[in-house]
Amino acid sequence: MQRPLVYPIDRNSNKEAEEMAVFYEETLGFTPNSLFTMMHRPRIAAAFLEMNQSVMENKGRITSSLKRELAYLSSMTTGCRYCEAHAIRAADRYGSTEERMQNIWEYKTHPAFTEGERAIFDFTIAASQVPNGVNDEISENMRKHWEDGEIVEVLGVVALFGYLNRWNDSMGTLLEEPAAEDGDKYLAAKGWSRGKHQY
């Protein structure tokens, strides 16, 4: 793409945009261009912010870092380079280890991951595919390790990033430099690049 489909609004253009930016400053260290694109229709941005906060809220064993790791796997499965970089940056900021981030695609055998996490990652990849790949075996393995509410949390992350993957890949959202740096650091060795998200 030669330019984003729609340019983001200026973060200082109105009070609503300034207030929404605060949440993401904590999460990522910057506010994503995607939010400022959504701000062309403030109700969409507000609804997304509420969904994001609800999905990423911790209620039990599904930790903040684990949610960001599965957000990365989901985004990688759908091919959204923008969201891959954001998710891996957030995983780092929320406590994932370098060992986990560097070996996440070896999760089936790498000792840094538990059997329960392997079940989540299998589910995440299957749920992120089109057509959907969740079957009885994957579902039963999830129920073996996780309670219903925890499964809902996991699927909430996959669904949230499904929205973000479609939004940012279709929009051609410009990738911010801090996220690009983490993409290069953790993902480039596995073939990650900025792709369409640079101008």
pLDDT digits 0-9 by tens, 141-182: 999 999 999 999 999 999 999 999 999 999 999 999 999 999
Specify the fold of 60-190. AhpD-like (1.20.1290)
| Residue 12 confidence (pLDDT) above 90 | no
| Region 76-93 average pLDDT | 96
Give the C-alpha separation, 27 to 47, whole Å. Answer: 17
pTM of this prediction exceeds 0.75: yes
For 20-65, the pLDDT digits (tens) are 777 778 778 898 999 999 999 999 999 998 999 999 998 889 999 9
pLDDT for 196 equals 95
Going from N- to C-terminal start, the domains of the chain cover: 60-190
What does pLDDT average to over the chain? 94
Task: Tell which residue, 64, 57, 54, has the closest CA to residue 91.
Answer: 64
Residue 112: pLDDT band (50, 70, 90) is very high
Residue 132: pLDDT band (50, 70, 90) is very high
Q: Which segments of the chain are extended strands (E)?
A: none
Q: Which residue has the tokens 């091919």?
A: 79
Task: Tell which residue, 1, 9, 187, has the closest CA to residue 105.
Answer: 187
pLDDT for 21 equals 78
Residue 79: pLDDT band (50, 70, 90) is very high
